Chains A and B, each alone.
Chain A
């Protein structure tokens, strides 16, 4: 099910402001790519442009192309709503719907595709998705309790379960562990390694060790100054980026000299 993503000459704007310029990047199917870089460099913006969430902000738009197995997601006949059903997203802060139970949260996305025929029942999908997110054992006795009654780490795994319940082809994660404690972070990282078998994953992280632990490839973004657009500095296998980066600024960032 998972697919390759190509970003081609992608310029991302907020109104007239060019936030990210000229990104060319390939994320292979069934791999984990991490986006690293200092705050404000545009890595989250790039991530959000991949599932067309960027444009929900008034005035925000992009130039260039994002190809999913060769099909441009910004093509003239592409419905952004359908793009978002194909490319799931997990946010920085766990955001289960507070008025829904755990089970309702999991199937929230499925409810949007009413006409789609499914082999499995909703209960089966709830179990499968929660198992997929390593949360089933912890919540199987209280599926009807509110999603907000879970701990932060559990809520984030619930959000992952909600994202994978619709069987997307790509999973985007925007700093999914930054609001979590170390134990919960480990649980999510283990999960990311498992999910790689079924999805193409892109994760934005401020945590260099995390990028090293979970990702196959790493892309480093930076900006030359305040008010200037962010650029993709370099991208490559994680081991190489961390040990022999081509660019001085990558090395400086990874060594912790700025950022």
Chain B
């Protein structure tokens, strides 16, 4: 194989035997392309991190309050006073509520589709769930604000009346709209397709022989699911929840529409109030001054960091019991 390449691995073909180019050009090209694609991801990640840090530094230096514990957001006042406490709280609190609601339901939908539903119903249902994932978030936001809210209000009142002794359900303001619960519910609906589609994928990949092993031992369908399906799918189920969490953490427009953008930490989920990183950036960016934009980027950096931690801890959970995973 004659080649003009300067790679040292390329040798001239030996007419007598099997020696020739030890690495084919096609292989090398593909190796280069795939390595490049892999590296590109790292470069993009690094570029984002560098950009965020670079742009965030001026505002953090200018901040007259503690960036992590301050609740107010007045970066363009003199002196600038702002911090992420409320944003962090609101982002995590809405996302946790969304997860608590969406994960069990998402697993339930996935189990129903994978193991209980008749084949025709299962494929129809799977299709509809996937369709739900394709609905733009602005639609969810508008629908949540105008159509869903009227139904959530009585539910909030019911929660407050009967479970009000638990502080998070109490409502002292007698105002029920634009609450953390409302945002959490809409986020739950938004991440439901993610959770259920991914967990369905892993459920249907459980080898038939493990399912049959459990059934042949005299397991009921639910016992079979606990015995053969859940252990095998656990990493995938965790990934599904984490990806859902990732979407909930970063969700912007629906939360921006629904939450009333109050700058206070309020655990009471039925009361109006709360804010999140992404919603705050979207709402404040247009009117922000120089320090204001830098401050918003600084809050974005924190969100970036949180999503990294979420994903890494998911990986850690998955890797813990490798010996016992279905992979070997």
Contacts and interface: CB of A to CB of B under 8 A. Distances in A.
Interface in A48-105: 51, 53, 56, 58, 81-86, 88-89, 91, 93, 95-101
A95 B213 contact: yes
Contacts, number: 83
Interface in B288-328: 321, 323-326, 328
A241 to B, nearest CB: 28
B315 to A, nearest CB: 18
A146 B328 CA distance: 10
Interface stretch (B9-17, B102-110, B128-136, B227-235): B227-235
A237 to B, nearest CB: 29
Interface in B200-254: 207, 209-210, 212-220, 223, 227-228, 231-232, 234
Given A97-B231, A98-B324, A109 B218 contact: yes
A85 B218 contact: yes
B205 to A, nearest CB: 13
B231 A95 contact: no
A125 to B, nearest CB: 14
Interface residues of B, number: 26
A86 B217 CA distance: 9
**Most central of B216, B227, B321, B324 by chain A CB within 10 Å:** B216
A98 B216 contact: no
Nearest to A113: B218
A85 B232 contact: no
Chain A interface residue bracket vs B? 20 to 34
B153 to A, nearest CB: 44
Q: Closest 8 A-B residue pairs measured CB to CB? A: A85-B218, A99-B231, A109-B217, A89-B216, A95-B209, A84-B218, A95-B213, A98-B326
B119 interface: yes
A109 B223 CA distance: 10
A20 interface: no
Contacts of A162: 217
Given A58-B119, A93-B209, A95-B210, A112 B219 contact: yes
